[in-house]
Amino acid sequence: MTNTAQPAAPLTPAEDKQWAGLAHLLGILGILPSLIIWLVFRERGGYTNQEGKEALNFQITVVIVAFALSIVTTILTFVTFGLFGFLAPLLFVLLWAAVVTFSIIGYTRVNAGGSYRYPVAIRFIK
């Protein structure tokens, strides 16, 4: 008896739209939701593949920016004898606010049937 895995069924248009939108919206929680959605559904729905890649590219960019911001704020806090340490948290709050804003915009555009391209994202995954 041969037990071969069958490919998963393609997503319905409604499911494709739902998962594409969630790839954007759940980016508020970090990179993992967008990554998981894209990896699981990319071959089952073209819309989810397209929008999942876009959301994931944005999340990768955010991780890189947060890492760079951590390094820069640490150096500036050290150089200014701790004074910059009061401003540094504000920069991270602004980054988080941008992530939330762009993720919600992406979700609403996809939910309306369109697509969304983040204004600031490095396209690592083509």
Query: Average of pLDDT values for 107-115?
Result: 96
pLDDT at 1: 57
Residue 27 has pLDDT above 70, yes or no: yes
User: How would you label 53-81 residue by residue, b for 16+ Cβ within 10 Å and e otherwise?
Assistant: bbbbbbbbbbeeeeeeeeeebeeebeeee
The DSSP annotation for the chain comes to ---PPPPPPPPPHHHHHHHHHHHHHGGGG-HHHHHHHHHHHTTT-HHHHHHHHHHHHHHHHHHHHHHHHHHHHHHHHHHTTTGGGGTHHHHHHHHHHHHHHHHHHHHHHHHTT-----SS------
Predicted confidence (pLDDT) per residue in 73-101, tens digit: 999 999 998 888 889 999 999 999 999 99
Provide the percentage of residues in the chain whose pLDDT is more than 70: 97
pLDDT at 111: 95
